[in-house]
Amino acid sequence: MILRYSRPEMAEIWSDENRFRKMLEVEIFAVEAMSKFAAVPQEAVETIKRKAKISVKRINEIELTVKHDVISFLTAVSETVGPEGRFLHLGMTSSDVLDTATGAQLKQATNLLIDETKRLAIIICKLANKYKMTPIMGRTHGVHAEPMTFGLKVSSWYCEILRSLDRLNFALETVSYGKISGAVGTMAHLSPRVEEYVCQKMGLKAEPVSTQIIPRDRHSVYFSILAHVGAALERIAMEIRHLQRTELSEVEEPFTKGQKGSSAMPHKRNPIISENICGLSRVLRGYALTAMENIALWHERDISHSSTERIMLPDASIILHYMLVRMQTLLSGLNVYPENMQVNLDKTKDIIFSGTLLLSLVDKGILRENAYVMVQIVAFDARDNKISIEEACLRNQDIKKHLTVEEIKRNCDVNSQFKNVDYIFKRVFK
């Protein structure tokens, strides 16, 4: 992933240095396990542990000739170890090292994503409670519907982020697997105890049945969940983009000192963080599709999956990590404008209480179909003649037959819409 979207904590996990470090750990734990069964002398294990070193530069140099990354890695490590290097990789295949090391990297990456998601949830929780009872226009199809509160809108984001957290924890469980089972998974040249030992030392579980590789449905779940979390962030970002439009101006992304919004128009303050998040979410969805296509491979393995994974594993993890941190910045510094929310509520006057009037008429014994027509008439009268729906009701004889002046006023009170907000919040923030 390009430096622009890479934060150092996640980039380090997917660096060549960390990848080869994890691969070396797998090899060292394997010889440790084999020494317990007299397959490798204990002295050789101590020498390997003491002398084995990683040189990314040397590994890359060797790969130019041998055209095989694991052989290059083993050759470079053996050069630092000496004759005892012959005990490395006994009975193992490349994917024993690669997949187990990748499982360890995925565990590191997922834990980091979980931590950032928790931080984001705390920020959203505070935002929701701060604006719990702040009225805002609820919109469906982009059109004024009924009033709600900004805190209620944000609490919906909070619930989705909690679900995202659950999904990431499931991803952590799904990908934290390794395998040391040989060329086709039969353990023909290895004791099963080697796999058990290595995986336990790496903080992983052993894949119950592996071929040459760990089945790629595990990785597909990881990418799918990352795409889901990205979509959750996109949902928040999309809403902020809409609410920041000039016509609404209900919220606005933080705009720092010295920041510039446009090379041509000095007045511009654009929702660039939200737009950035929406765009990157598309990349994650694309990776999820490719990961599903990587599940079906020829027989016990081909390498059609590995070329995509070299790109996707670091990129998807780095992208989502960046998005989570960016969203934290956005929401912790979000400018909220309750006065503009009220202005927009007032644009349609009290016509937005048509549903409440409808139910009041039904309560009076009027058939719903007839009540609907009656309220639609006064609503259109209010809209066309630029008067309040309360005024339109008061001059409509059919409405006045069934509702008193006091009942009409009560139905047009915005606070009547929020009587169950406390209940919803208690359900969410229990």
Catalytic residues: 141, 262
Q: Position 128: which residue type?
A: A
